Structure formats: C-alpha cells, structure tokens
Amino acid sequence: MKFLLLITIAFAFTLNVQAQTKTVHGFVFLDNNNNSIFDETEEPLPNISVSNLSTITKTNTIGQFQLENEVRDIVID
C-alpha cells in the first residue's frame, strides 16, 4: 500500500498601507520651441485644467497649479 504525504507550508503576511499627502505643483506654458524649458519669450497658460486622476484644478493667471496628491506606500511584512 502506498501512502501519499502532503506537506503544506503556510505563508503568513500582513499588508500595511500607509497614506501620505504630497503637494504636486507645476507650471503650464506654451513651449514654442519644444525644448521643455520655459523661456522668457514663451507664454504662461492661465485657466488650463490639470488633474491627478482624482482631483481637477486650473492654472492661475500666470500658469501655475497646485494639487494635493495622496501617495500610498505598501509594505508587506
């Protein structure tokens, strides 16, 4: 008679999610020469919608915006 021995290994872990709020800010402008750098001759763009996929804001009169963004760090112990 043959016996089958099954060994089960259980992995126990905990999932710890910690949320932090970070401020994301930036500047929107018309990049006439496509160099990704704001030059004095280029125009800031006011009233442009900017989003972090959960909140939408608009740029101010000089093209600046600010968003609060929740960052989650996942730690597995």
Q: List pLDDT tens digits, range 13-68.
A: 555 556 677 788 888 989 999 998 899 999 999 999 988 788 889 999 999 999 88
C-alpha radius of gyration, the chain, whole number:
25
Give first-to-last CA distance, the chain, whole Å. Answer: 43
pLDDT at 25: 84
49 with 58: CB under 8 angstroms?
A: yes
Domain ranges of the chain: 23-76
Structure tokens at 15: 């999932």
Provide the greatest CA pair distance for the chain: 89
pLDDT at 11: 46
Look at residue 52 in the predicted model and tell me its pLDDT.
79
Q: What letter represents residue 47's amino acid?
A: N
Alpha carbon distance 59, 65 (integer Å): 5
pLDDT at residue 20, rounded to an integer: 74
